[in-house]
Amino acid sequence: MLDRGVLRHDLEMVRQRLAHRVEPGILDDFTAADARRRGVLTEVQALRGRRNRLSKRVAMAKRSGMDAADLVQESRKVHAQISELEDSARTLNDETQRILSQIPNLPHPNVPQGPDESANALVSHWGEPADVAFTPKPHWELGVRLGIVDFERAAKLAGSRFAVYTGPGAKLERALMNFMLDVHTSEHGYTEILPPFIANSRTLYGTGQLPKFAHDLFKLEESDYWLVPTAEVPLTNLYADETLSPNDLPISLTAFTPCFRREAGSYGRDVRGVIRQHQFQKVELVKFASPETSYGELERLTSDAEEILRRLGLPYRKVLLSSGDMGFSAAMTYDLEVWLPGLGEFKEISSCSNFEDFQARRARIRMRHPGGRRGKTEYVHTLNGSGLAIGRTWLAILENYQEADGSVTLPEALRPYAGAERIARSGVLE
């Protein structure tokens, strides 16, 4: 979350930077609640001074043998007033904290200002779509014809927006998971983590999913447990309430997890195929860095995700998101969008973000100040990105590597993991 001091002392700057990100009136709500809280604290401080003075007068009266009953009674009244105001201050503090938890992060000054994706900036483009002499089919047609994905049986088991992967379809998912994890751990310097796939409310608060986005999460009944929407949640909170050594930074972690999302705000978008599912698999990349190095780490993390796309030979573009198109917690985000010839468009396959100290402030993740000055700490910067979303990589391979006869050739980098060169028209690996 944001530093309260920034909102108090530079409110107009915050208004300008959040012009396309914040709900109307919420900054004024925070300012009003914070002013009331500080006003009450000022009253408390004044009454404490008065109570101290009364205590001294009571002591002096008793030493002099004077009747101190009236002073004692007055002191008790002041004490009661202080207790009442302290209760009010706690209530107002909770209110300001509640409002503050719903204010998004400030965009980095280099982020394009704009209300939505129309203001995004194209950064780079890699690869060219294959020139084929047939009309490419979408992955949901290819996968069903090959018998490697089943949407009807998935609907029977769980409902819409689920998929059952079968035979080579399931093996391709597993091959992609192993390939991505091997590249990131062996070549990019990430430590692999296998975290719980369930998180408590405090953990989801730390990364910014709660309280604002509870509607997009799956909660387990009669518990404080939620299914994780992304491995970002457990990985980032591994160091919650801890103080890291600057010598240990940057810390780079990766994990494979299933991810669970209601997709409550998708409003009928991408309902066919496996583009937007309630459950999908993903390899996540998370970094902890010092404030001085975090934007260099963002470039490295994004490059690590890009390397997976390049090795798989999948054409993609890199886009810098505008202030209105970024996620709630992000200060800067690059989207990697893969080309899908069956759909005839680019689709996001990875979002790589620097959150600066926004998540670390919520999760209380600090670092000792460089130079070892005793007692000096500051918040670390956290970063994350998909390295990659496996389901979308799966469908991108089907659509980009399809042949005229309905078979699918596998990228060379993936063949050792799949133990085959292609998925034949008959739906078997060859």
Residues marked active site are found at 261, 276, 348, 351, 392
Residues 6+ apart with CB under 8 A from 60: none
Q: Is the peptide bond before 211 cis (omega within 30 degrees of 0)?
A: yes
Specify the DSSP class assigned to residue 402.
Answer: B
Residues forming a β-bridge with 352: 334, 385
The tokens of 238 are what?
Answer: 């591994």
Q: How far is CA 49 from the centre of its chain?
A: 46
- Name the token pair of 398: 């089907």
Any bridge partners for residue 99, and if so which?
Answer: none
Contact assessment for residue 264 and residue 291, using Cβ atoms and an 8 Å cutoff? no
Residue whose pair of structure tokens reads 């369930």 in the numeric block: 198
Backbone angles phi, psi at 126, to 5 degrees: -130, 135
Instruction: Tell me the one-letter amino acid at 316.
Output: Y
Residue 145 identity: R
Kindly state the tokens that stand for 287: 């970094």
Q: How far apart are CA 167 and CA 273, in angstroms?
A: 17
In DSSP terms, which residues pair with 252 in a beta bridge? 287
Grouping H, G, I as helix, E, B as strand and the rest as coil, residue 322 is coil
Query: What is the rounded CA–CA span in Å between residue 222 and residue 145?
Result: 42
Q: Which two tokens stand for residue 413?
A: 């980098």
Query: Cβ contacts of residue 380 below 8 Å, gap of 6+?
Result: 244, 249, 288, 289, 290, 291, 357, 360, 365, 366, 367
* Distances from the Cα of 160 to the Cα of 51, 271, 277, angstroms: 66, 9, 8
